[in-house]
């Protein structure tokens, strides 16, 4: 078996793909090779297990911050999205993989059964959009969706060639913290 030296910063990145005390270094490398892009598999073609690996990597990056307010818990069976729950059924934060458009969205969703309430909440965020987005270069999207029933405030992280790089995973975790930090007080008052 060959010996591989890995710089410490890269080793820290690899830990996001490992299950502590279970995986070997080889297991982690195999998971990355299978999941991301080495075998010319695109995000369009990935399996349920691959989605679990993506959401686990994002969740681990997100949860490792010391001052985390909510925890990401990827649920089995979810493919294109992973929520960060706020304790309210009608408001949550969410990562959404939009495969056909090669982007990963970091979003705040208003999903009350009352579409007028969702629109009002979204309008309130729209009034603070510049403040919330200050210093964030990613495209911002504020919209009603599902026949104007639900509301979304999102940042869009594009990726190329339908290959989701680790940098997008890190950025998604960081942006979710920023979105929560910048909107939590507004959400609590809704």
- The verdict on residue 3 lying in a domain is no
CA distance 104 to 160: 11
Residue 167 is part of which domain span?
8-188
pLDDT at 180: 95
Report in angstroms the alpha-carbon separations of 27 from 24, 63, 67, 183: 5, 22, 30, 38
- The verdict on residue 22 lying in a domain is yes
- The verdict on residue 2 lying in a domain is no
- The verdict on residue 164 lying in a domain is yes
pLDDT at residue 88 is higher than 70: yes
Number of structural domains the chain divides into: 1
pLDDT tens sequence across 125-143: 999 999 999 999 999 999 9
Higher pLDDT, 13 or 37: 13
Confidence bin at 117 (pLDDT 50/70/90): very high
pLDDT at 106: 97
pTM: 0.75
The helix (H) or strand (E) run that includes residue 167 is helix 166-188
Contact 157, 163 (CB under 8 A): no
Higher pLDDT, 99 or 61: 61
- The verdict on residue 120 lying in a domain is yes
Q: For residue 134, give the 3-state DSSP assignment.
A: coil
């Amino acid at each position: 078996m060959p010996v591989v030296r890995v710089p410490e910063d890269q080793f820290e990145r690899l830990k996001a793909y490992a299950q502590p005390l279970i995986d070997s270094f080889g297991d982690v490398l195999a998971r990355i090779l299978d999941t991301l892009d080495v075998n010319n598999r695109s995000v369009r073609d990935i399996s349920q297990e691959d989605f679990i690996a993506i959401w686990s990597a994002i969740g681990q990056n997100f949860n490792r911050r010391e001052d985390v307010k909510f925890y990401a818990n990827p649920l089995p069976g979810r493919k294109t999205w992973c929520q960060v729950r706020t304790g309210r059924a009608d408001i949550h934060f969410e990562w959404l993989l939009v495969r056909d458009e090669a982007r990963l969205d970091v979003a705040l969703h208003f999903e009350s059964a009352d579409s007028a309430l969702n629109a009002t909440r979204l309008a309130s965020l729209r009034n603070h959009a510049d403040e919330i987005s200050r210093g964030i270069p990613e495209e911002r999207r504020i919209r009603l969706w599902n026949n104007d029933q639900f509301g979304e405030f999102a940042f869009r992280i594009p990726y190329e060639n339908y290959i989701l790089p680790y940098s997008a995973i890190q950025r998604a975790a960081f942006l979710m913290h920023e979105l929560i930090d910048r909107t939590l007080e507004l959400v609590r008052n809704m």
